[in-house]
Amino acid sequence: MASLGAGGGSANSSHRHRSLAPPAHVLASIFTSKPPPHYVPGIGRGASGFTTRSDIGPAAVSLGGAGAVGQEAPADAAPGQQPVNDGAYNAALGNDGGLLAKRYDDDDEDKEADAIYQAIDAKLADRRQQGVREQKIKDQIEQNRKDNPKITEQFADLKRRLKDVTEEQWEAIPDASDLAAKRQRKNDTTVAMPDTLLRRALEGQETNAHIDPTAMPGAGAGGGGDGATDLKAVGEGRQTMLGMKLAKLSDNVSGQTTIDPKGYLTSLSGMHVNSEAEVSDIKKARLLLKSVINTNPGHAPGWIAAARLEETAGKMSEARRFALTGTEKCPKSDDVWIEAARLHPPDTAKAILARGVAANPDSISLWLAAADLEPDTLSKQRVLRRALMQIPTSVKLWKASVDLSSEEDARLLLTRAVECCPQHTELWLALASLETYEAARGVLNRARAAVPTELSIWIAASELEEANGNGKMCGKIISRAIKSLASTGTAIDRDTWLREAEKCEKSKSPATCRAIVFATLGMGVEEIDRQRTWSADAEDALGRSCPETARSMLLKAIEAFPGKVSLWRQLVKLEKACGTATDEVLAILTKSVSHCPQAVVLWLMAAKERWLGGGQMPPSAEAVDGARAILQEAHRHNADSEDIILAAHKIELDSGEHERARILLARSRDRTGLCSMDGTAKSAASGGSERIYIKSALAERMERNHKEELSLLTEGLGKFPKSWKMWLMKAQALRRGGGDVDGDGDVSMLKVEPGSSANAKMDDAKACYERARAALQQGVKQCPHSIPLWLASADLEFDMDFPAKGRALLEQARLKNSKEDRIWYLHVQRERKLSTGGDVHAAEKLMAQALQECPESGLLWSAHIGMAPRQVRKSRCADALKRCDKDVRVIGAVARLFWADGKLDKARSWLTRATSLAPDDGDTWVLLYRFEQAASAASASETSGASSVIKACTAASPKHGIFWTRVSKDPELWEWDASWKSRVASSASSAHEMRIERTLELASQLMSAEEDALEGVGSRK
């Protein structure tokens, strides 16, 4: 019987092991009872074979073996086929029914698994059906479109056929109105005229001498005539209209008429003609305000609004009536009394305000309004004094009375006012301003005792001491103010103090301003942030036009950080911006170098200020000696500074001491370990730096000592082979015929005899070009990213009439520096000059490529505008301004366009704007100089604007520009300067200004020649 319990599954295993053997009577009843339905003996022990569901499919599982007990095989079963027990199939157990079926029920896990499988099956079925549904919807939409096509689809074929319609056929198409008229004419029908109509027409032509009563309109019971006029109805309508007009003239509130019999015509002339909409709005507002007044008659704004509405409508009598009624209904409202007084004449208004003051004796506004109605000052003072007797604590009344009084009377009034209103600081300060020095001090002391928390009293006391020449007390007063306010618990932050300092500066009290800044600048600022914060505060104060406050802040910062060079430089910049005298600036610089002796920049600023501070050009001998002394002292503290040596060289050079300048440079070339202002070493191992060699070569060029110049450049390039400036200077020296350097370093000069032939001179020129070309080739190899070297190499080839080589060099330069607009510009300009027969398509194509590579280049856009025909330049200017509206070259191109159109004022304004945007660009000054010369020549004016341009350009001292640098770095200009200095030594103009004028003149000629050459190409085009 153990096998009977084994069929119960794992859930009954533990119970089987724990239970004991069944009793004997139970075993006997089991063996004698009938087996349960579908019981198969031995199946729990695996005694019979079995068949899985995968073998026979989803049908019922065969029990196998000899067949089920108590069942017989069907009669039509095949031999050897086992019967299938369909009735015992269970959804969870399959065919495992029988005795143990009662112990095998579905648990929660099986139900959950079934639910999951059912959900998966449903989702898969829905996915299969989704495609079917989408296809069905698509078919329905297509069928609907076929059944109900759009109007555009119906006439699509007709629209396509419209392309074949000729112009005559199109003009022959009739309009819709013509077609309607034709259709209407087609529908018109004509019928024969009846005899009755003819008879009536005949009778109408006869003359009757009597009136037929039956023919009158409305005669008889029915009133028989149609279309006739009823005289009774006309009379009734006239009466109705008259009643409406009379109702308009009546008052809707009281029913009384508003017509003034005496002033009717006068009032008509003063009426405003309003539109129907305005009249309707006034009526609606009148009804609304009537409701407000009737609902709440004690509401003063309602009466005021009603009065102003009638005033707007032109009914002053109604407005006055509403205002007076408002005073009766709201006697405690100040606004109603003031409104009523405003609407009445002055005499009536005085009476109204008198009643108002009687009803409201403590109303300040009514007393002030009553004083305003008085015609003279004495009457106004009388009214205000009566008001002060009634309201002695009113500050407004005291101020109004003081404003109308003389100085002596005002002092007496203010003495009484501070007694009545001791808490008002304005009265105390006004009284102190009218008193003498000693009395004012007493007034301020009493004010400070009465109002101990007021800051303005302390500041007024400091200003009083400063105004009386006792400025040393300002600092003590401000310090006492800070302590006193802190003891009373009055918290005043740092920003408030600094704002008060700026107010003191604007009120011409610099000592008080400085005292406030010194005492309060460090409030709430961390020690580590003091320098940065104070410097920023000074910049902000200067931006608000408070230089004294900014100066005080910087002085306080320097007092805390005397070794900070940036603070000293900021202070000097401030002093120069404020126009401080040269001696004071020198004093500050002298003090700065005493605290910062290693700051080279401060020494240089001091030397320059001493040299040029007097404004005398050329500088006097005293100024030059002073600058030399400062630089000597600077050199003693900074013996290795290259910048000090170069500054001394510049002073000697500009003073005409060329030999001393050359000696200074020669000594610096022999020194080692020279440093610049940033502290970085600049000199080579054997002495001298790149800048020293460049300055030395320039000095030799000025002296026309080409052999020494070339020797210095060769020596410098041996130490600094990456110096593109020295390579360029060497090529220029060789191109001028300076000779060459052999392998031993010796310079061989080219000498052309005066009687040499033209061929010999040409051969010498070619030799110079070849040597310059070799130098530039070496320089390009050493400095492949130096744009000036590439441009000089290309220019040399073009000048030697080798355009193919020049183009090749520019192509190589573009490959290595594709975003450099100067290379593109030179290439385009050279292509324009080389264009034959006016064919500039190559230049235009190249310009298009250049603008694609450098779309923000003002240099290229200006050339692009110059290449365009006259009628296209305006649109190109617009495109250029969209790309780079602040580029001076584009602005100059726009100015040229205005100049060509004769709009001189606009051209001048654009050129002035360009010089202000980039004062360091010399080409812009040259263009403005040319324009002013042309304008003065066209107007035949004796006063030319070119002189002002020269002065402004001298102040700007430009150093850049294509045409400017070609002239300013030309040695011939230096020779011209030297000769002119000796000729006009007594001239008021400075040598620098004369040199600027000469540079402007030569650069203007060079620019004109360039433009003429390019305009020739454009004219050929």
Coil vs helix vs strand at 798: helix
Tens digit of each residue's pLDDT (9 = 90 or more) over 42-89:
666 665 555 555 545 554 444 444 344 444 444 444 444 444 444 444
Q: Is the pLDDT of residue 693 over 80?
A: yes
Partner residues linked to 94 by β-bridges: 90
Do 566 and 535 touch, CB atoms closer than 8 A? yes
More confident position, 98 or 349: 349
Report percent pLDDT > 70 for the chain: 71
Tens digit of each residue's pLDDT (9 = 90 or more) over 796-825:
998 888 889 988 999 999 888 878 889 999
Which region among 165-169, 485-489, 846-850 has the lowest average model confidence (pLDDT)? 165-169
Which region among 482-486, 597-601, 837-841, 947-951 has the lowest average model confidence (pLDDT)? 837-841
Radius of gyration of the CA atoms of the chain, in A:
56
Do 830 and 820 touch, CB atoms closer than 8 A? no
pLDDT confidence tier of residue 197, bands split at 50, 70 and 90? low
How large is the average pLDDT for residues 124-144?
85
More confident position, 604 or 612: 604
> Which residues in 222-295 belong to E strands, given as ranges?
none
pLDDT confidence tier of residue 225, bands split at 50, 70 and 90? very low
pLDDT confidence tier of residue 276, bands split at 50, 70 and 90? low
Coil vs helix vs strand at 307: helix
pLDDT of residue 1001: 87
pLDDT of residue 367: 92
Q: How many Cα atoms are found within 13 Å in the side-chain-facing hemisphere of 123?
A: 6
CA 778-780-782 angle, to 5 degrees, is 70
Which residue in this structure is represented by tokens 């020449």? 469
Q: Is the pLDDT of residue 617 over 70?
A: no
pLDDT of residue 84: 46
pLDDT of residue 67: 40
More confident position, 518 or 993: 518
What is the identity of the amino acid at 43? I
Report percent pLDDT > 90 for the chain: 24
More confident position, 946 or 656: 946
pLDDT confidence tier of residue 624, bands split at 50, 70 and 90? confident
Q: Is the pLDDT of residue 1019 over 50?
A: no
**Burial bucket for residue 856 (CB in 10 Å: 0-12, 13-18, 19+):** exposed
pLDDT confidence tier of residue 497, bands split at 50, 70 and 90? very high
Global pTM value: 0.60
pLDDT confidence tier of residue 559, bands split at 50, 70 and 90? very high
Which region among 604-613, 626-635, 966-975 has the lowest average model confidence (pLDDT)? 966-975
For the chain, how long is the longest CA-to-CA vector? 160
Which region among 295-299, 374-378, 745-749, 836-840 has the lowest average model confidence (pLDDT)? 745-749
How large is the average pLDDT for residues 673-689?
54
Which residues, 6+ apart, have CB-to-CB distance to 1 below 8 Å?
Answer: 21, 22, 27, 30
**Burial bucket for residue 511 (CB in 10 Å: 0-12, 13-18, 19+):** buried
How large is the average pLDDT for residues 724-744?
75
Bridge pairing between strands 747-748 and 740-741 = antiparallel
| Most trustworthy range by pLDDT among 13-17, 555-559, 715-719, 1013-1017 | 555-559
Which residue in this structure is represented by tokens 């019981």? 39
Segment holding 473, helix H or strand E: helix 473-487
**Burial bucket for residue 395 (CB in 10 Å: 0-12, 13-18, 19+):** middle
Q: Is the pLDDT of residue 199 over 80?
A: no
Residue length of the chain: 1021
Which region among 97-106, 449-458, 753-762, 833-842 has the lowest average model confidence (pLDDT)? 97-106
456 vs 461: CA distance, rounded Å: 9
Tens digit of each residue's pLDDT (9 = 90 or more) over 970-1009:
766 655 555 555 544 544 456 677 778 888 888 888 888 8
pLDDT of residue 942: 55
Give the rounded distance of the alpha carbon of 259 from its chain centre: 62
How large is the average pLDDT for residues 887-915?
90
pLDDT confidence tier of residue 872, bands split at 50, 70 and 90? confident
How large is the average pLDDT for residues 859-882?
88
pLDDT of residue 150: 78
Coil vs helix vs strand at 700: helix
Tens digit of each residue's pLDDT (9 = 90 or more) over 943-964:
568 888 888 888 888 988 888 8
pLDDT confidence tier of residue 564, bands split at 50, 70 and 90? very high
Average per-residue pLDDT in the chain?
77
pLDDT of residue 106: 57
pLDDT of residue 546: 92
pLDDT confidence tier of residue 223, bands split at 50, 70 and 90? very low
Q: What is the DSSP letter of 587?
A: H
pLDDT of residue 665: 85
How large is the average pLDDT for residues 484-505?
90
pLDDT of residue 173: 78
Indicate the Cα dihedral angle 869, 875, 878, 883, nearest 10°: -80
CA-CA distances (angstroms) from residue 617 to 765, 931, 982, 989, 993?
A: 41, 28, 14, 7, 9
Q: How many Cβ atoms are within 10 Å of 863's Cβ, its own excluded?
A: 23
pLDDT of residue 541: 93
Q: Is the pLDDT of residue 886 over 60?
A: yes
Residue ranges in 188-263 assigned as alpha helix (H)? 195-204, 231-249
Tens digit of each residue's pLDDT (9 = 90 or more) over 403-437:
988 888 899 999 999 899 999 989 999 999 889 98
304 vs 323: CA distance, rounded Å: 6
How large is the average pLDDT for residues 902-915?
91
Q: Is the pLDDT of residue 713 over 80?
A: yes
pLDDT of residue 277: 60
pLDDT of residue 835: 76
Do 669 and 699 touch, CB atoms closer than 8 A? no
Q: Is the pLDDT of residue 124 over 90?
A: no
pLDDT confidence tier of residue 234, bands split at 50, 70 and 90? low
pLDDT of residue 11: 42
